[in-house]
Structure 1
Amino acid sequence: MQGKGRIWAGLVAVAFVTAGCELVVPPDPPAAPAPRVTPQVAPIPEPSAESLAFARYYAAVQQRLVADGLLRTDGGGPDTPISVRNLVANFERIALFDEYALTNGRFVQQQTPSRLRRWQAPVRLQAHFGASVPTADRNRDRSILGTYATRLARVTGHPIRQVNSGGNFHVLYLNRDEQRAAGPLLRQLVPSIGEETIDEITRLPRFTFCSVYAFSEAGETPNYVTAIAIIRTEHPDLLRRSCVHEEVAQGLGLPNDSPTARPSIFNDDEEFALLTRHDELLLEILYDERLRPGMLPDEARPVVEIIAGELLGGQS
């Protein structure tokens, strides 16, 4: 939720000095020691049995994926060459197709051609934490989000930063119990949010590791103005960081996944945990001024081919 600014009127101590006389001021008596005040810390609520089961499940998932050589953090290497042809095809599938369509009030997985969408206004990433998240975890999550924001700003050339209040891209760190009860918070963050989207977020099933919802201006314009990412706090560290990388990047205008994208986090095979060089190239293309929000795939393709050729030095 957005914080409210407050202006405090403080008292100013003013010393007056009188010339021409000498004042003898007796020493002040020793001050009594101030009473020790123990800060009151709100107790962390006990997670439900369902939330604990989610934590065990995700810990086992991460352990299995790592053991299978997945969730790589190296960003790719000689085994994952990037060609212009593949980069163009991956951009088209990831940036110019939607993964889900809203049908009869529900989000249904359906590959649908779409228009190019991205942010025109500066992106202000703001972290929100459920009461279940300890202070140490909050500090770590903010550090990761802030470092990532700096990287995304460098890659895209678009103003992206982390803020403590007044955000327009909200990253919600919630456990299962808090996710179920998130309706009032969602309405506060995005007053125009539809009930079907609230229902989708509060009911996210266990197999959906994390999710992001980006909202355009009224009238279906291609400019994003706000977004909400859901990060489950039952995730162990690597899955949690992986979710931040993927959902924030997708919320910038890369809404889809592709089974052929490699090395990439925009691939449901979970081979890579963190944003790769391939994914940075996708973001560079997305925010290149030669592309216009609203372009359809056939309009964008010739421009994307030129940009990809320049980024890869003409490699085929």
Structure 2
Amino acid sequence: MATARRYRANRLGARATALAAAALVAGCAVAPDPSPPARATGNLPVREAPPEPRSPASADADLRSFYAGVEKQLVDSGRLRRDPAPADLPFTDDDLIRDFVRVALYDEYTDVNGRFMHAERPALLRRWETPVRVAVMAGGSEPAEEAARDRSNVAAFTQRLAHLTGHDVALTDGNGANFLVLFMTTAEREAFANQVHETYPDFAPAVITALRNASIDNFCITYAFWDKTNPSVYSAVIVLIRAEHPAFTKMSCVQEEMSQAMGLPNDSPDARPSLYNDDLEFAVLTEHDAILLRMLYDPRLKPGMSVNEVLPLLPAIAADARAAEERDSGVTLAVN
């Protein structure tokens, strides 16, 4: 795969800002009303104080060491599992229906006075209706080999999303991008936020604030924006993944954030086996999650549907999506 686009840490440059603007200006150069949905992945189980910031280079090195330790702690405790179809966690169609309602028809974050707050609330069904064009941006501090690997992971998962949803999802070199996946350090992320704000001062304040002040206990964050003419249709997405993460954590962030940005904005403690659960039990998209994506893009569902409209359709949709996943995988899913 081609090496990811690179922008120097000390000057992200007009091209980076232009790419972000091109992806977002149609849907949200001015924050929509109501505010755009956004979500953050599960918090890290931090048991020690994060490193104190020093120079940009030393701060990056400290954070890399810190996140490597957190990843090891999670793996050692039995989390970040890599088995997409675990035999110890069977699930029924009723489980799929329950989890779909909670993950697809609730928002996890709410814009409160220009800041995103964790406040779960019911939502209408949302998804993409226009083609999704994914662009990858890497900060200049990321080594070329890491940037190439990250882009390869995004490219492979983009193809998988297209297959699971049946929607037009493809990688682009930046032309027509409306789905940005950013791999940036803290300093690069802050510079990027400042450039977007300077160029577009009315750009969604909550997003600018969150980009500047992303908490150390977030793995990765997604900001999804809807079409001004239809708040149930996505128009643009920014996925922010910390460049300081080790490779495995970054790969997990790619799979969780990109899949949820297709229209599964919430997490649920009952969803298992699933990425869409803040306990971080799984690191890869599970067959349970693949079925939820198939359900979301079933033609019997339409953007803007309420839970009462969706529920009667879900038994047949879940059964059909499960059968499709079984045909694809060649593996019979465990059922209670």
State whether TM-score is above 0.5. Answer: yes
How far residue 185 of structure 1 moved from its aligned partner, in angstroms, is 5.0
- Residue 73, structure 1, aligned to residue 82, structure 2: yes
Greater mean deviation of Cα atoms: 119-128 or 130-139: 130-139
- Residue 291, structure 1, aligned to residue 301, structure 2: yes
Residue 244 (structure 1) aligns with: 254
Residue 70 (structure 2) aligns with: 61
Greater mean deviation of Cα atoms: 173-182 or 89-98: 173-182
Residue 138 (structure 2) aligns with: 129
How far residue 221 of structure 1 moved from its aligned partner, in angstroms, is 1.9
CA RMSD, 1 decimal: 2.0
**Per-residue deviation, residues 192-219 of structure 1 (Å, max 9, x unmatched):** 7312211111110100110001111114
Residue type at the aligned position of 1:310:
D
How far residue 50 of structure 1 moved from its aligned partner, in angstroms, is 3.2
- Structure with the larger RCO, 1 or 2 (CA within 8 Å, 6+ apart): 2
CA distance in 2, matches of 1:270, 1:69: 10
**Per-residue deviation, residues 271-315 of structure 1 (Å, max 9, x unmatched):** 1101111111010010111001011111111112220123346x7
How far residue 229 of structure 1 moved from its aligned partner, in angstroms, is 0.3
Greater mean deviation of Cα atoms: 68-77 or 221-230: 68-77
Task: Find the residue that maps to 2:142 and give its secondary structure.
Answer: coil
Residue 269 (structure 1) aligns with: 279
The answer (yes or no) to whether the contact 2:84–2:287 under 8 Å persists in 1 is: yes
Q: Pick one of 231, 245, 248 that aligns with 2:241.
A: 231
**Per-residue deviation, residues 144-176 of structure 1 (Å, max 9, x unmatched):** 111111111111000111111121100011011
Residue type at the aligned position of 2:184:
L
CA distance in 1, matches of 2:182, 2:202: 18
CA distance in 2, matches of 1:186, 1:57: 29
What TM-score, normalized to structure 1? 0.82
The structure-2 alpha-carbon separation of the partners of 1:188 and 1:230, relative to structure 1 and needing over 3 Å to count, comes to farther
Q: Pick one of 195, 206, 216 that aligns with 1:196.
A: 206
CA distance in 2, matches of 1:148, 1:157: 14
Q: Gaps (5+ residues) in structure 2?
A: 1-15, 20-54, 324-334
Task: Find the residue that maps to 1:182 and give its secondary structure.
Answer: helix
Residue type at the aligned position of 1:208:
N
Residue type at the aligned position of 2:124:
R
What TM-score, normalized to structure 2? 0.77
Task: Find the residue that maps to 2:231 and give its secondary structure.
Answer: coil
CA distance in 1, matches of 2:167, 2:197: 28
How far residue 135 of structure 1 moved from its aligned partner, in angstroms, is 1.3
CA distance in 2, matches of 1:162, 1:220: 25
Residue 312 (structure 2) aligns with: 302
5 Å-filtered alignment, 1:1-316, equals 1=16, 47-166=56-175, 167-186=177-196, 193-219=203-229, 221-312=231-322
Residue type at the aligned position of 2:168:
P
The structure-2 alpha-carbon separation of the partners of 1:270 and 1:64, relative to structure 1 and needing over 3 Å to count, comes to same
The structure-2 alpha-carbon separation of the partners of 1:186 and 1:291, relative to structure 1 and needing over 3 Å to count, comes to farther
The answer (yes or no) to whether the contact 2:183–2:240 under 8 Å persists in 1 is: yes
Q: Gaps (5+ residues) in structure 1?
A: 4-45
Task: Find the residue that maps to 2:234 and give its secondary structure.
Answer: strand
| Bigger CA radius of gyration | 1
The answer (yes or no) to whether the contact 2:125–2:232 under 8 Å persists in 1 is: yes
User: Aligned pair count?
Assistant: 273
Residue type at the aligned position of 2:147:
R
CA distance in 1, matches of 2:158, 2:199: 20
Residue type at the aligned position of 1:295:
M
Identity %: 39
